[in-house]
Structure 1
Amino acid sequence: MVYAFGEIHRQVEQEESFENKTEDEINSFISEVAKDFLNDSLDALGDSLTSRRETQSKIWKYWGSTFNLFDFYIASNLDIASMYRESVLKTDSCLDLRFVVLTQLHAKSVLVLREIQALIEAGYPDGAITRWRTLHELAVCSCVIFESEKSARYYLLSEHIKNAKGAKCYSDHASKLNHEPYTESELESIASLKAVALKELGDDYNSNSDYFWAMPFLLEKGYKGNRPNLYDLEVKVCLDHYRPYFTLACEKIHAPSKSNYANLAISGHDRPGLVVGPSHYGYETPIDLAMLSSLIILSKFIFLFPTLDSSIFLKMISLVQEKVLESAFETKC
């Protein structure tokens, strides 16, 4: 839309056409002009689609090879995990709660990888690194679960605590949102499951910590607090060196005072500006981080009950990772 903002207001002031208008007449005028702008904008949708396609074509011209290899990496990650899962399900090992939780975490990691892929291919590297933030958390949690079956049990039980907390939040705001509130029967069922979970989690369970489920693991590692956070877990599983990237990703999720905080999308520009659309730059960092974290998750999953196959397939996907990075940095150069 091309328009000199304020022009309508200036024209109306010059004509003095609003002096004797009623509020309804003014609102009617505003609605009619707004509809005209909308119709003109809708008529130009075809041009917008063409422009988007041209931008995508330019991005793929340079990054297509890397994008295709990254897609192969994600597909291979899922295929390996699926084959491993099918094998374990045929044994009694599938009853190990660590296997149950790691299956969930790995599945979530593949979904997040696909979301990162979608953002990268659309030209949004900074959006992609914000989704990596979730992948990093999944990697940290996978490391904890791998080492502690009791933490895996706590992890599954904590769902009922979070459900009760979410139900209360929803109930507090349902009427203002014009939503149907929970019925008394539904609330009683949620509260009952919470009570059963708390019997095992104990009276010391701290619902103000999203990571209290990891206490069995943390206590074994010498943790002295009662309200663990993600950083506490990062330190104990030796992944705290990713904290600078995690902080960077957090800055992009929240509302920082610095508008272009280490913006990946303008990494190839001499003159920084406010980014409002797709970019040709900055893909190598989110791709690299995504593969690093997802490899940690995959390795914890397929080495829970390791075989020679586990080593072979982890080596294979590590080689794929190298090819993706080679392609990415060649494109950057």
Structure 2
Amino acid sequence: MSNGKSINSVFLDSVSKTPEQLLSKLLEGKLKEAGVKQYRKGAKALASHMLENGDQEFHFEDEDDEELDISIQISADDIALLEKQADALVGEIPEIVDRLAREQSREMLDDYRKDWFRYRRAEERDFSAFRWRLEARWGEALDDLRLLVDLCTDEGEKERARLSKSKAKRAPIARHALVQLHVRACQVAREILTLIENGFPDGAMARWRTLHEIEIIALLLHDGGNELARRYFDHQVVERKKAADLHQRTCRVSGSTPLSQKEMAEIEEDFDSVVKLHGKEFAGDYGWASRYLNNPNPRFANLAERAGAEASKPEYKYASYNVHASSTALRVRVGSLNGQGNLSAGSTNAGLQEPAQKTAQSILLISSLLSSRSRSIDHAILLHALVRLRDDAILKFETAAQVLLVDHQSIEEALFEQQIEDIDLSMI
């Protein structure tokens, strides 16, 4: 979409004639003194002539004026006055620009809004066609992933119901933590599905990064039991203290209302209490895992290593490119056939297999932790069915990706034979 006239052209229209106008104003007085009846019209023509031709002879003919032969002198004082007026004009340019921008922005926005309905309908038609092609290519694999996420969600609901009926004397803190993590994992998995279904594999990979982090925490809490889960929940106090400190430091700049002394005192008291209970290392970013890892200052990499997720470290790093503003993310793209491609602000039909396969693996692993102690035959059958479903989904995504690559190469060869260039194949 584009509006008719740019702000640059409007600005040039406003200021481009100003030197001529300044000179014309000066010449008006001199022509009037010389007896020229149409001195305004003559001054304007003479000013234009002088700016283009310097001090060459000028002929001005007008029926209201008799033939006059006059000579005009531009004195040093005249030059100084013009320079002063020009300097004043330069000083006014920012104000002129701002005024024109405000005036033109209203007109521009009105034009955009008038055109938007038609433009949006065209976009919707194009995107619907793209979604149809994506579903035709990836639909069978996507259905397996959708079914896997639905079944895992059902298992989470069943475990939450069982937990609510538990009459255990000791509160099953670890089970509560796993159920809550599983709920969040299912939500993230559905977000990933939404991104994949709409052709955003880089965004889906970025969301898988979050799912992978949930997976690692779930593995640790499953192994560490109630004690580690208690520390994990208590660490919310540390996070709240850090958030409160940050808020107090930035509220004046952001315009937010600072926390009261009473609120800060309560936060400080809670923080001191949990640090006293769990030790000074508890105040670190992952202090809740310090004792479990026997590490006074653990990092997330230490958690991943203990969880046995070292093999996923390259994929995790790869996914991180699209979370942070890394320059690598400008070059390395999940949504391209070779992993590297031009940046695109739109959807693509390529690269969907990687976030989908990773999601299938992660959501099943997190789900399996919920009822890992179950020994029922029904649960064993279901778990084997879910594993088979996951493996089928992974294979189908890989097959679809290979077919896409073959189709892409065929289309490129056909375009090359026809000497057609600059065609975007990302939405084939």
Is 1:212–1:228's contact at 8 Å kept on the other side of the alignment? yes
Equivalent in the alignment of 1:151: 228
Distance in structure 1 (CA, Å) of the matches to 2:8 and 2:98 = 17
Equivalent in the alignment of 1:329: 398
Equivalent in the alignment of 2:197: 121
| Equivalences for residues 21-100 of structure 1 within 5 A | 24-46=95-117, 47-63=119-135, 65=139, 66-93=141-168, 95-100=171-176
Equivalent in the alignment of 1:275: 344
Distance in structure 2 (CA, Å) of the matches to 1:226 and 1:147 = 19
Moved beyond 6 Å, runs of 4+: none
| Equivalences for residues 172-321 of structure 1 within 5 A | 172-205=249-282, 207-208=283-284, 210-219=285-294, 225-267=295-337, 272-304=341-373, 307-321=376-390
Equivalent in the alignment of 1:222: none
Residues 11, 22 of structure 1: alpha-carbon distance in 2 compared, 3 angstrom cutoff: closer
Measured against aligned partners, the alpha-carbon deviations of 1:172-228 in whole angstroms (never above 9, x if no partner) come to 1112211122122222222222233223212343x23x2221233323xxxxx3211
Is 1:140–1:237's contact at 8 Å kept on the other side of the alignment? yes
Alpha-carbon offset, residue 255 of structure 1? 2.1
Stretch of structure 1 that moved more, 46-55 or 16-25: 16-25
Measured against aligned partners, the alpha-carbon deviations of 1:124-159 in whole angstroms (never above 9, x if no partner) come to 100110111111111111111011122111101111
Secondary structure in 1 matching 2:235: helix
Residues 331, 53 of structure 1: alpha-carbon distance in 2 compared, 3 angstrom cutoff: farther
Measured against aligned partners, the alpha-carbon deviations of 1:3-31 in whole angstroms (never above 9, x if no partner) come to 78955555555444997567555422211
Alpha-carbon offset, residue 108 of structure 1? 1.2
Secondary structure in 2 matching 1:114: helix
Residues 134, 39 of structure 1: alpha-carbon distance in 2 compared, 3 angstrom cutoff: same
Q: CA RMSD in A?
A: 2.7
Distance in structure 2 (CA, Å) of the matches to 1:52 and 1:138 = 35
Equivalent in the alignment of 2:37: none
TM-score (norm 2): 0.69
Secondary structure in 2 matching 1:279: coil
Alpha-carbon offset, residue 63 of structure 1? 2.5
Is 1:140–1:234's contact at 8 Å kept on the other side of the alignment? yes
Matching residue's letter, 2:146: D
Distance in structure 2 (CA, Å) of the matches to 1:266 and 1:39 = 37
Distance in structure 2 (CA, Å) of the matches to 1:156 and 1:326 = 38
Alpha-carbon offset, residue 274 of structure 1? 1.8
Measured against aligned partners, the alpha-carbon deviations of 1:222-245 in whole angstroms (never above 9, x if no partner) come to xxx321111112112211110001
Distance in structure 2 (CA, Å) of the matches to 1:69 and 1:111 = 17
Aligned length: 325
Is 1:81–1:302's contact at 8 Å kept on the other side of the alignment? no
Alpha-carbon offset, residue 42 of structure 1? 1.8
Stretch of structure 1 that moved more, 299-308 or 182-191: 299-308
Distance in structure 1 (CA, Å) of the matches to 2:344 and 2:7 = 21
Identity of aligned residues (%): 20
Alpha-carbon offset, residue 40 of structure 1? 1.5
Is 1:146–1:304's contact at 8 Å kept on the other side of the alignment? no
Is 1:265–1:281's contact at 8 Å kept on the other side of the alignment? yes
Secondary structure in 1 matching 2:328: coil
Distance in structure 2 (CA, Å) of the matches to 1:84 and 1:132 = 24
Distance in structure 1 (CA, Å) of the matches to 2:263 and 2:346 = 44
Measured against aligned partners, the alpha-carbon deviations of 1:43-67 in whole angstroms (never above 9, x if no partner) come to 2222134314422432333336243
Q: Which segments of 5 or more consecutive residues in structure 1 lack a partner in the other structure? A: 220-224
Structure with bigger gyration radius: 2
Is 2:11–2:97's contact at 8 Å kept on the other side of the alignment? no
1:105 aligned onto 2:181:
yes
Residues 156, 53 of structure 1: alpha-carbon distance in 2 compared, 3 angstrom cutoff: farther
Residues 152, 264 of structure 1: alpha-carbon distance in 2 compared, 3 angstrom cutoff: same
